[in-house]
A and B are shown apart, each in its own frame.
Chain A
Amino acid sequence: MKEIYMDHSATTPVDREVFEAMIPYYTHEYGNPSSVHAKGRTAKKALEKAREQLASLINATPREVFFTSGGTEADNQAIVSYMLTNAHRGRHLITSAIEHHAVLDTCEHLHKNGFDLTVLPVNSLGLVEPEALRKALRPDTILVTIMHANNEIGTIQPIAELASIAHQGGAAFHTDAVQTVGKLPIDVKAMGIDMLSASSHKLYGPKGVGALYIKKGTRIKNILYGGPQENKMRAGTENIPGIVGFGQAAELAQSRMSDLAEYLNGLGKRLRDGILESIPHTIPTGEPENRVPGSVSVCFRFVEGESILLMLDSYGIMASSGSACTSGSLDPSHVLLAIGLPHEIAHGSLRLTLGKDNSEDDVNDVLEVLPKIIGNLRKMSPLYNGGGSS
């Protein structure tokens, strides 16, 4: 059976070129970059090259890039360490209702431990209103953390504007850019970002590697204790093969970003328009135009997401959903609820996230199969009255 992978916001395949760049660092250049000898020096050189590659992608200086085990660790370090290190200036932080759990749960953890937290609502497109941020800022606010683009609904936030408002209020600005690094142009300097989290496996790099950009002069420390790696910001022997892969993936992403974004925007629009035209009672979610390239998110009324996913899977089509069954809880995704969807509609969510290897044919195949699947599930649904008014 043909495989059609449309879950690139979950993870991506490792590029062949990236994989090949990594292999020597597993097999014969296996040195520890902290070692003095030749193998150690080779590893150290590879580590610093990767740092330059990633720095270049986001217009940072290499010394501002710190490798971590992934986006989650980067988010944890940025938020926890910034709040702890700067607590003498204030104990209030602000985030948004549609953050990834790596940010939301970290903020909640601080809240439970005596910090003050404001969770900003979003509008029906998933956008944080700049005015809402302005009003939420207090004299004791020291950190604002708002994601660049949302993983479920694809909406891109006005980061430069939000960062500027945070700074006017005397707070630092962190963004979880896991869904956008390598996909959208990011200039940390022009956008006024103080800290940014990135993940390798979302941009055709390996899993288990991420990075935290920390603007020079930002007061923040390590959250893992041990050796002096990463300029004392991240203890633990560096995952050199992974970091090399991340660097290579970053360089590749930079070289093909505008072409790939254009391709995926076109393909995504075709898929989204095709779904909306062929399947009635479908609600698109997120900002319609200003989206993560290739991200398509919709809710089908009267049906449930896990059922859609398993039916698609039987045709070799791999996607995701924010329904309760797929979120591992009894509630549908917090993002879909935050944009104002009622539970019964949020349960019918489907996310298709396209990647560089998806073709027009893939989109055609999905557009052929999906209306049948939704039709069959609706025929089975006691909520559906047969296509009449609803």
Chain B
Amino acid sequence: MYSQKVMDHFMNPRNVGDLDIADGVGEVGNPVCGDIMHIEIQVQDNIIQDIKFKTFGCAAAIATSSMVTEMVKGKTLEEAERITNRTVADALDGLPPIKMHCSNLAADALHQAIKDYIARRNQA
């Protein structure tokens, strides 16, 4: 049902946890649906220096969260913004069709974190 890459990221998720100091925070989903993705980023010189996630959800939710953190670490904000839920799923060699909709929100959480970072920066 799941690709080997999904199972790898699910069983050994990368970048789990919280940052000591987060420059931007994003959270999508809700507990009623059974998926919540929370992503924190640390940004310096327009580059995502560090990123952590916490996710409540199924294997697809956890794997997509893990994958998105791996994909954007060290990337510029513009590069990170170009990542979509679809490219995350592709990087995991695909997801079962039913998971594409409900558990594939990690890129949305990342984009929210970037938005949050930009809003904070503009306020400062």
Contact = CB atoms under 8 A, between A and B. Distances in A.
B62 A324 contact: no
Contacts of B37: 382
Contact of B32 (A306, A307, A328, A344): A344
Given A314-B11, A383-B56, 18 more contacts: A304-B35, A304-B56, A306-B59, A307-B58, A310-B59, A323-B34, A324-B102, A325-B103, A330-B33, A332-B34, A343-B34, A344-B34, A347-B31, A347-B34, A380-B54, A381-B55, A381-B56, A382-B36
A332 B57 CA distance: 12
A277 B54 CA distance: 26
A367 interface: no
- Pairs of residues from A and B, 6 with the lowest C-beta to C-beta distance, nearest first: A344-B31, A382-B38, A306-B58, A347-B34, A382-B54, A325-B58
Interface residues of A, number: 24
A343 B58 CA distance: 14
Nearest to B66: A380
A167 interface: no
Interface centre among A323, A343, A344, A382 (most CB of B within 10 A): A382
A332 to B, nearest CB: 7
A387 to B, nearest CB: 15
B34 to A, nearest CB: 4
A335 to B, nearest CB: 16
B117 interface: no
Interface residues of B, number: 28
B27 interface: yes
A312 interface: no
A303 interface: yes
Contacts of B55: 380-382
A342 B7 CA distance: 29
Contacts of A311: 11
Interface of A: 302-307, 310-311, 314, 323-325, 328, 330, 332, 342-344, 347, 379-383
Interface in B10-42: 10-11, 13, 16-17, 27, 31-38
Contacts of A382: 27, 36-38, 54-56
B114 interface: no
A338 to B, nearest CB: 16
B98 interface: yes
A342 B30 CA distance: 13
Given A303-B56, A379-B16, A382-B56, A325 B34 contact: yes
Interface string B41-66: 00000000000001111111110000
Contacts of A324: 33-34, 102
The binding surface of chain B is classed by DSSP as mixed
A273 B35 CA distance: 29
Nearest to B98: A328
A382 B53 CA distance: 9
A29 B54 CA distance: 61
A125 to B, nearest CB: 24
A269 to B, nearest CB: 30
B102 to A, nearest CB: 6
Given A325-B34, A330-B102, A344-B34, A307 B54 contact: no
A342 B59 CA distance: 21
Contacts of A304: 34-35, 56-58, 61
Contact of B62 (A307, A330, A344, A347): A307
Given A304-B56, A304-B61, A323-B58, A383 B31 contact: yes
B32 A343 contact: yes
Contacts of B27: 382
Interface string B78-117: 0000000000000000000011001100000000000000
Contacts of B103: 325
B98 A302 contact: no
A307 to B, nearest CB: 6
Contacts of B17: 379
Nearest to B18: A382
